[in-house]
Amino acid sequence: MRVLILAASVAALSMIPVSAQTVSLDSCRRMAVRTNKQLKMADAAVEGAHHTKKAAFAAYLPSIDAGATYMYNQHKISLLGEDAKLPTMQFDPTTGKYEYNLVKGPDGIPIKDPKTGQYVPSTVAVIPKEAMTFDTRSVFAGVITLTQPVYMGGQIRALNDIAHYAEEALAAGRRSAERDVIYAVDESYWTVVSLQAKRELAGSYLNLLDSLDRNVKAMLDEGVATRADLLSVDVKLNEAKIMQSRVDNGLSLARMALATACGLPVDTEMVLADEALSHEPAETPADYNIEDVYARRQDLEAVRQGIGVMRGQEKLAMSTMLPKIGIVGAYEFSTPNVIDGFNRKLKGGFSVGAALTIPIWHWGGNYNKYRAAKAATRAQQIMLEDLEDKVTLQVNQAKFKYEEAYKTLSLARSNMASAEENLRCARDGYLEGVLTTNDVIAAQTAWLQANSEKIDAEIGVRLCTTYLDKVLGIGY
């Protein structure tokens, strides 16, 4: 029973509508940065570069390796095909030399074997075949080595430099991508604010037309207005309803786009803190030092770090033309072994050595690799200079757009004041009978256009401010 009551309570709570959450621009930025998949990929790349840097540093340190092998052979190894018979010698005091023990004839002359033509020994020393047979059917060997690079022609240092600059380049690229994500979120955010303001404007315009429609109907009943006047108002009223429907649809899509950019479900309801456009954007000076801009721009920083990578490639190519020295120590063991005669015990010993490699002649191959690396570095430097020129142009364009946006906003405010006064005069003149319905409709249309332009100008100022911060490499 309690379970049923609890289930009913949960179901009832799930049916209660949850109020939409109010979020600020900074909140949207943080959510977008936290959930953006491109930034997560960049984070993974930076992490991989960090581990690559650690791996490069490990080349400075000695390495220890172990190896083992086992082999089974079908046959034993025998150094003799049969028992070996070796002639013996004895010392002859008369000559003071060792003489072979040979079979001699009655005349005292050594006898030769008629088949081989060799002297026949009188005594022999026998080495049995079994004494020179070794059991190598089951062989096991192992080795533990320690290798310490002493001088590798600068190769290890070059690899460490390349890994360091590669990590910094990826980190700078990640920061640049983060600013792109933030700017995209800002665009979506202010698009929602703009459409929300235009939605409210469309509602106000629709209310004006409703009020005019009621007045025209009342005057038509009194005979002071014509049917054509009412039809003109009805046409504008229908157009306003269509416009409001389009704005509603556009606003829904813009909210979905903003939710997606923030990493939220598309149906997430959010109330933006700036939807009311309650505060006017304040003009800020757009002064800058172009050298400081170059230093702050992370896309340029990525290219500068790329130049460091290219210089590391130069050093790496140079190392192929320099000598290399290393020290190797090893402990080797095996069974069977021949350290103390041939036996089946597992035994081994230490060995220490040094290796020196000196490149002498490679038909210019290594030198041409070095020249190719230097050419790649020059190309990267030229690309950086070209990008700096483009950034200078980009900053100037953003500054002009920024200043133009404020001028446009000032004019839009002035037009808005004039349109409101014009609408007030048109309504008063219509009520006094000196102006027609078309004059009022024209004044309302001008008021709508002036309001819409003012909203666009305010949003444009905010977007231009954000874009200027982006190209200057400041903010966030």
Mind giving me the DSSP string for 344-405? Answer: SS-EEEEEEEEEEE-----TTHHHHHHHHHHHHHHHHHHHHHHHHHHHHHHHHHHHHHHHHH
The string over 279-289, giving b where at least 16 C-beta atoms fall within 10 Å of a residue's C-beta and e elsewhere, is: eebeeeebebe
Q: Is residue 109 classed as helix, strand or coil in its secondary structure? A: coil
Instruction: Give pLDDT tens digits for 153-203.
Output: 999 999 999 999 999 999 999 999 999 999 999 999 999 999 999 999 998
**How confident is residue 3, by pLDDT bands cut at 50, 70 and 90?**
very low
**How confident is residue 17, by pLDDT bands cut at 50, 70 and 90?**
very low
The kind and range of the H/E element at 310 are helix 298-319
The confidence score (pLDDT) of residue 258 equals 94
Average pLDDT over residues 271-291: 76
CA separation for the pair 35, 259 (Å, rounded):
11
The confidence score (pLDDT) of residue 6 equals 35
Average pLDDT over residues 94-100: 84
Contacts of 97 (CB under 8 A, 6+ apart): 91
Whether 284 has a pLDDT exceeding 80, the answer reads no
Q: Is residue 152 classed as helix, strand or coil in its secondary structure? A: coil
The helix/strand count (H/E) of the chain reads as 9, 12
Average pLDDT over residues 137-156: 93
Instruction: Give pLDDT tens digits for 337-351.
Output: 888 878 888 888 999
The confidence score (pLDDT) of residue 14 equals 37
Average pLDDT over residues 396-407: 92
Average pLDDT over residues 388-415: 93
Contacts of 34 (CB under 8 A, 6+ apart): 263
The mean predicted confidence, pLDDT, of the chain is 87
The kind and range of the H/E element at 258 are helix 227-261
Average pLDDT over residues 90-103: 84
Architecture of the domain whose range is 17-40+152-322+359-472: Up-down Bundle (1.20)
Average pLDDT over residues 321-335: 93
The confidence score (pLDDT) of residue 476 equals 58
The confidence score (pLDDT) of residue 234 equals 85
Whether 310 has a pLDDT exceeding 60, the answer reads yes
Whether 2 has a pLDDT exceeding 70, the answer reads no
Token representation of residue 341: 């005669």
**How confident is residue 286, by pLDDT bands cut at 50, 70 and 90?**
low
Domain positions in the chain:
17-40+152-322+359-472
The confidence score (pLDDT) of residue 4 equals 35
**How confident is residue 20, by pLDDT bands cut at 50, 70 and 90?**
low
Instruction: Give pLDDT tens digits for 231-272.
Output: 888 888 898 899 989 999 999 999 999 999 999 999 888 889
The answer to whether 155 and 316 have CB atoms below 8 angstroms apart is yes
The confidence score (pLDDT) of residue 106 equals 81
Whether the link from the prior residue into 336 is cis, omega within 30° of 0, is yes
CA separation for the pair 398, 393 (Å, rounded):
9
The confidence score (pLDDT) of residue 475 equals 67
Instruction: Give pLDDT tens digits for 410-467.
Output: 999 999 999 999 999 988 888 887 788 888 889 999 999 999 999 999 999 999 988 9
Task: Name the pTM for this structure.
Answer: 0.79
Percent of the chain with pLDDT over 90: 58
